[in-house]
Copies of this chain bind each other. A is one copy, B any other.
Amino acid sequence: MNQPTAPEVVRKPQGAAGTPPAAAAMPNPGRLFQTFNAYQQTAAMQAAIELDVFTAIGDRQTTAEQIAERAGAAERGIRILCDYLTVMGFLTKNESHYGLAPDAAMFLDRRSPAYMGSAARFLDAPEMLKAFDDLTAAVRKGGTVMGEEGTVGVENPIWVEFARSMAPMMMMPAEVISQLVEADKGGKCRVLDIAAGHGLFGINIARHNPQAEIVALDWASVLKVAQENAHKSGVESRYSTIAGSAFEVEFGEGYDLVLLTNFLHHFDPPTNEELLRRVRAALAPGGRAVTLEFVPNDDRVTPPEAATFSMIMLGSTPHGDAYTYVEFDRMFRHAGFTRSEHFRHPPLPESVIISYP
């Protein structure tokens, strides 16, 4: 083990802060300190979204005083929050004026059509945060220590929050899927959207293909959100629902597409294979299963967004994981599918897998 050594002290005249040239070679606890405090990044983003700081700045309220007045907050609180968001790269600062960095202008100004601030209500919901209060216990156990099977318990109300707040983050992957299945070509297309949530994946296909008919499956409480969205998109006449657990209800048959979006990661491979066998049986000749998932490479540590997703599954589910493509391919083959294709679309963190019976 190396011994820590104190930096060489270089005396500098009054007022100027000196940087000794030998500094780079020293051990640096900064990254560790940053990790101990990383939870504050989440809290700062939540506060900024709740106080609508980004919209205020986008609307040219650029000083701490102006933002504070609009947000009904203390100027000191806003100044410290905005300085922190500047260090994080979401804001810019020029003298006393804050500005929106590109990601903030796109995703955090409420007036942007790509606004994603609502995602905090699901991703940082109190019960999600609570699942990580004692991660040590979850690591010991190898799964969530939340009661009721974590977030995958029956009718967990968090999925209504998911359906309401995560829709904006799913617009881009929904568009990717519609392109991959060539929805614009039209033609007969019966779609089963399993764990539909907000319903955007099926709805987007219906928007691209006027002949597509969508069957959305989810808890009844969640389906209300999907139905609202189908109505808003004008596809409600081609939109029907099946309420209940994907592991219990009858799917029906003759589907050209079965969508499995952000679903398989919640369960272990045997559970998924059982489901996939039923998915295969529900497909029409020539039909396909379309899976949207966080898929790490075989090393399980790249790319970062997909690789770290397994941590969310450890904290919040009994047996979920971020599976590699090899693992997904194996599950589909075990369930009777003959082959799969894997598509990545950076910067989207999710992959699409299309599987053929």
Contacts and interface: CB of A to CB of B under 8 A. Distances in A.
Nearest to A180: B9
A47 interface: yes
A259 B291 CA distance: 61
Nearest to A353: B17
Contact of A116 (B29, B106, B124): B29
Nearest to A181: B9
Interface in A154-204: 169, 171-172, 175-176, 179-180
Contacts of A15: 325, 329, 341-342
Contacts of A38: 38-39, 41-42, 45
A140 B68 CA distance: 8
A147 interface: no
Interface in A89-128: 89-90, 93, 102-103, 105-109, 111-114, 116, 119-120, 123-124
Q: How large is the interface on A (under 10, 10 to 19, 20 to 34, 35 or more residues)?
A: 35 or more
Contact of A86 (B2, B13, B301): B301
A83 interface: yes
A112 B2 CA distance: 8
B107 A29 contact: yes
Nearest to A26: B347
Contact of A305 (B1, B34, B106): B34
A277 interface: no
A19 interface: yes
B345 A3 contact: no
B29 A103 contact: yes
B135 A35 contact: no
Contact of A136 (B34, B46, B302, B347): B46
From A35, A39, A176, residue with most partner B Cβ within 10 Å: A35
Given A77-B314, A132-B40, A169-B29, A345 B35 contact: no
Contact of A47 (B36, B109, B136): B136
Contacts of A347: 7, 23, 26-30
Contacts of A138: 47, 77
B106 A20 contact: no
Contact of A36 (B12, B120, B139, B140): B120
A81 interface: yes
A107 B27 contact: yes
28 contacts: A2-B106, A4-B113, A7-B346, A9-B176, A9-B179, A9-B180, A12-B341, A13-B341, A16-B342, A18-B344, A23-B346, A33-B169, A33-B349, A35-B45, A35-B90, A36-B42, A38-B45, A39-B132, A46-B135, A46-B136, A47-B139, A50-B136, A73-B142, A74-B140, A77-B143, A80-B139, A80-B311, A80-B313
Given A30-B347, A30-B349, A93-B299, 8 more contacts: A7-B345, A17-B351, A26-B347, A31-B90, A32-B107, A35-B45, A39-B43, A80-B321
